[in-house]
Structure 1
Amino acid sequence: MEVFKYVKNFLTKGLLIALLVILTVLAIVPQQAYAEDALTIMAEAAILVDAESGKILYEKNAEAPLGVASMTKMMTEYLLFEAIENGKVTWDQEYEVTDYTYKISQDMRLSNVPFREDGSYTIKEMYEAMAIFSANAATIGIAETIAGTESKFVDLMNDKAKEMGLEETTFVNSTGLSNSSLMGMHPEGTKETDENIMPARSVAKLTKRLLDDYPEVLETTKIPVKLFREGTADETRMENWNSMLPGLIYEYEGMDGLKTGSTDFAGYAFAGTAKRDDTRLIAVVMGAVDNKGAGSYKARFDATRTLFDYGFGEFTTEEVIPAGYQFEGQKTLAVEKGLEEKVAIAVKEPVKMMIPIADKELYRPELLLDDSVVKNGKLEAGVEKDLVVGTLQLKKTDGTEYGYLSGSTEKVEIVTTEAVERANWLSLSMRSTGEFLSSLWDDAGSFVRGLF
């Protein structure tokens, strides 16, 4: 009996020890790493970005060129805002319906507000129809107003894409429809089988650029429902295709834009943005599917919700390097021909970054000196205060670091903390004489010690 009790106690203690070991290991493993590994995005491609800095928080197959569908309209919106800013177009300018836009507007298989064959519409109401209801004929009308023809507008779109650095991007029309849906009236120079193509990363770049340059776009994209031509025989209810807006079926806190898209070629896509407190995120999903592999409107919003929950729940904006930070082993630089022989260097501005909550200690600062300023490890006097001598880069010592939409890591200036004037002839002569005498004294001391 005593042996049985001994064995029982031994096994109980053993199980407790094993359990404690397991719990300790789980506690040591960063929670963020688990959260990212457990993240399942049911889409062909996806990306999550901090809208302020462009820092990528998550990506999946984000560089693959895919069908972009009506997310294309964000480029049309950008060029419209630009044309208005430059005075080429006004909001109250009237557009006369063409045969092309009339026929497209009558196709109820497409998202549209109906145009009258002899009608005219303001740019403002066509813009609202495009941004809220993804109205395709209205989008083509805007393109024709800006460039004369949709073909010429497509040239503007592709030129702007190159200017923005949107890699692997090709626009063949202003709407994102498949050219085969344009009733043989697709833009000149394109083929009926052509499609608009973008990778998720380029869609995110376009989204960020639109938000940075023309944030007023959100005043329209956040409208859940609006009536087109309210109070007329042509009144059309426009419910925003972004069903994550407050009051709509898949509402999400902070959601206020931006553009959905779906075609047979592209599947179901969405470039969404939401803001909570001081944090704005951008999420792009392309080719979204449900757990059975079928694409649907809901699937794209489910994937977007997962991304936003991950971003808002697992990340925080932290000051990872304070202003005035100095590198151990490189707190100063030598100064040639200066009143002082060295000058202190430090980080000019604090480094704030959106990072996983558990990962703050994983970022290590590195100093990169500017060879055009610091030559052979020295500065030439006189040195001004706040002279930029290099940059700080942050390296993550463990886990995945996706970088920034710009493609480069964030660089922070390293500067001199004070000025060092050039020494005059007398000071330099006395310094040289002192160095010479010191050298003689050292040599004499070495000689005397050698005698013994």
Structure 2
Amino acid sequence: MFCKRFIAIVTVLALFCSIVVTSGRASAETVPAIDVEAGSAILIEANSGKILYQKNADESLAIASMTKMMSEYLVHEAVDKGKLKWDQKVKISEYAHKISQDRSLSNVPLENGGSYTVKELYEAMAIYSANGATIALVEEIAGKEVNFVKMMNDKSKEFGMKDYKFVNSTGLTNQDLKGYHPEGTTLDEKNKMSARDCAILAQRLIQDFPQILNTAKIPKKTFQEGGKYPIDMANFNWMLKGLIKQYEGVDGLKTGTTPEAGDCFTGTVERNGMRLISVVIKAKSHTARFDETKKLYDYGFANFEVKNVYGKDAVVKGHETVRVANAKDKDVVVQTKQAVALPMPKGNNDVYKKEFKVSNKEQEAPIKKGVTISKMIISPKDNIDPGFLSGKSLQIDLVTKSDVEQANWFTRFMRQIGSFFSGMWDSAVDIVKS
């Protein structure tokens, strides 16, 4: 009788364990696989950076005019810091003029020595991928393109990108730059990035300067409308509303095409509160890059949805307090610094685990409200899940809910006395045990 009961208990436990293990891998088993026909590709949820799909995502490849995402970022940063104004006039150099006259490249013709506003040149770059306009902006910001290229590489490092190399500001091959290629670079060099790094750049561009989408989503516009030489500009992002590959919710971002890079596209789309960022590098044709991007978006929206996990200023169950030395109340309440929303497979919310890490440096009162003293680390339960752009896990700052007062001298003294005798007691117990 005992044996039968024992066998039954073991069977139930084994079944329970198999259920627990399965729930940890549910995301991999319930979401169907797709294959994107391109040299490399990635799909992320924009807010968290959660990777939903990847293919050769860390392979460094030529990216052509997707380079201009970094140039756009640095233009916005210069405006934000007051170093540039949208209505500021920019004088066109011989270099920018010569490049702008090459109609085999993406360009709006610029007059040698002529002046155009920063806004006009930026729109030509962002909508029409105009190379001469890009160079004019670059020279206005950095003096020389070589200085701007250093800024591009420095910013990439700051963003935590790993598989990148910028040699010019446009994404053209150096051979296309008519002898003006930046000092220290060679004719056969070209800009390269991985799909992951392109996604990091696109995410930062949208998060830091969301207004970029106001320009990126313009399907058609006339450069210098009403001027002496107006030029009609049609956006190369054919997935925008009203264009031949339109896809509901697409509002950016940047295409790229050269013989070596093939046809590339970094796109972004938002539906039902979920924004996706996609990168496709080395697709088979102009239209294929959009077809493969559609495949990624259909996959993302069909299989995932964003769930609010914690609101801003939320106290996390299981980690409500952190011990702080010399505080009036030794256990200090902490809360989330920002809201936490994560993409999850539809019908399955049990795909993440969390752990907590207190700051390596011991915190000591007094501490102001809103200071980070702990972190919540969120990672997928599934070991083969690709994780986030930042790595296998996402770190959320937990901050002090209110000012942390220092205990008075008498309380601190009595705690030290108590700690001293507690230590003596522990030592005595250890001696007795030995």
Contact 1:392 1:414 in 2 (8 A): yes
Q: Is the 8 A contact 2:278 2:296 kept in 1?
A: yes
Say whether residues 1:249 and 2:244 are aligned partners. Answer: yes
Q: Is the 8 A contact 2:320 2:335 kept in 1?
A: no
Letter paired with 2:83: K
| 2:49 alignment partner in structure 1 | 54
1:350-402 alpha-carbon deviations (Å, 9 max, x no partner): 7532222243123333344556559xxxxx99999999774433343336422
Match of 1:40 among 35, 39, 53: 35
What SS does the corresponding residue of 1:166 show, helix, strand or coil? coil
Q: TM-score, normalised by structure 2?
A: 0.78
- Following superposition, the deviation at residue 128 of structure 1 comes to 0.8
Q: How does 1:77-226 map to 2 (within 5 A)?
A: 77-226=72-221
Aligned residues: 397
Between the aligned partners of 1:173 and 1:148, the Cα distance in structure 2 is 14
- 1:313 maps to which residue? 302
Superimposed CA distance per residue, residues 187-223 of structure 1 (whole angstroms, 9 cap, x where no aligned partner)? 2221110100111111111111111222111111110
Whole-angstrom CA distance in 2 between matches of 1:103 and 1:38: 48
Q: In structure 2, what residue type is equivalent to 1:126?
A: L
Q: Give the conservation status (yes or no) of the 8 Å contact 1:46–1:60.
A: yes
RMSD: 3.9
Alignment of 1:408-423 (within 5 A): 409-412=393-396
2:254 to 247, 255, 259: 259
Cα 1:179–1:30 shift into 2, 3 Å: same
CA contact (8 A) 2:172 2:258 kept: yes
For 2:12, the equivalent position in structure 1 comes to: none
Aligned partner of 1:243: which letter?
W
Q: In structure 2, do the counterparts of structure 1 residues 84 and 331 end up closer, same or farther at CA, with 3 Å as the change threshold? A: closer
Q: What SS does the aligned partner of 2:204 have? A: helix
Q: Name the SS of the counterpart of 1:43 in structure 2.
A: coil
**Corresponding residue for 1:236?**
231
* Secondary structure of 1:360's aligned partner: coil
Give the TM-score taking structure 1 as reference length.
0.75
1:291 is matched with none
Q: How many Å apart are 1:415 and its aligned residue? A: 8.1
Deviation of 1:257 (Å): 0.8
Letter of the structure 1 residue corresponding to residue 196 of structure 2? R
Check 1:338–1:32 CA distance in 2 against 1; reply closer, same or farther (3 A cut). Answer: closer
How far off is 1:162 after superposition? 2.1
Give, in whole Å, the separation in 2 of the partners of 1:83 and 1:346.
Answer: 36
Q: Which moved more, 1:279-288 or 1:404-413?
A: 404-413
> Could you say if the C-alpha distance between residues 186 and 50 of structure 1 is closer, same or farther in structure 2, counting changes exceeding 3 Å?
same
Greater CA deviation, 129-138 or 29-38? 29-38
Residues 279-428 of structure 1 mapped to structure 2, 5 A cutoff: 279-288=274-283, 295-320=284-309, 323-327=314-318, 351-369=340-358, 372-373=361-362, 390-398=374-382, 400-407=384-391, 409-412=393-396
What's the CA shift for 1:50? 1.8
The 1:392–1:278 alpha-carbon spacing in structure 2 relative to 1, beyond 3 Å, is same
Closer, same or farther: CA 234–407 of 1 in aligned 2, 3 Å: same
Distance 1:82 1:387, change over 3 A: closer
What is the match of residue 442 of structure 1?
none
CA offsets per residue over residues 323-360 of structure 1, 9 Å max, x none?
55544xx99999999999x9698875875322222431
The aligned amino acid for 1:398 is: D
Distance in 2, Cα, partners of 1:189 & 1:364: 48
CA contact under 8 A between 1:136 and 1:175: conserved in structure 2?
A: yes
Rounded to whole Å, the distance in 2 between the matches of 1:87 and 1:184 is 32
In the alignment, the residues of structure 2 paired with residue 90 and residue 426 of structure 1 have an alpha-carbon distance, to the nearest angstrom, of 59
- Over 3 Å counting, the alpha-carbon distance change for 1:386 and 1:269 in structure 2 is closer
Distance 1:317 1:91, change over 3 A: same
- 8 Å Cα contact 1:326/1:345 also seen in 2: no
5+ residue gaps in structure 1? 1-26, 289-294, 375-379, 436-452
TM-aligned CA deviation for residue 172 of structure 1: 0.9
Indicate how the Cα distance of structure 1 residues 244 and 424 shifts in structure 2: closer, same or farther if over 3 A, else same.
Answer: closer
Closer, same or farther: CA 357–107 of 1 in aligned 2, 3 Å: same
SS at match of 1:361: coil
Q: Secondary structure at the match of 2:41?
A: strand
Aligned-partner Cα distance in 2 for 1:324–1:212: 25
The answer (yes or no) to whether the contact 1:50–1:57 under 8 Å persists in 2 is yes
**Superposed displacement of residue 227, structure 1:** 0.9
Measured after TM superposition, the shift of residue 226 of structure 1 is 0.4
Aligned partners of 1:386, 1:115: CA distance in 2, in Å?
Answer: 51
* Counterpart residue type for residue 385 of structure 2: E
Tell me if the contact between 2:135 and 2:169 (Cα under 8 Å) persists in the aligned partners.
Answer: yes
Distance in 1, matches of 2:65 and 2:153, equals 16
SS at match of 2:165: coil
Report the Cα offset of residue 57 of structure 1.
Answer: 2.1
Cα drift, residue 100 of structure 1: 1.9
Deviations 1:272-325 (A, max 9, x none): 11112322211111111xxxxxx2111111111111222222112224579555
Q: Secondary structure at the match of 2:342?
A: strand
Whether the 8 Å CA contact 1:93–1:122 is kept in 2: the answer is yes
User: Partners in 2 of 1:128 and 1:71 — Cα distance?
Assistant: 15
What amino acid is the match of 2:129?
S
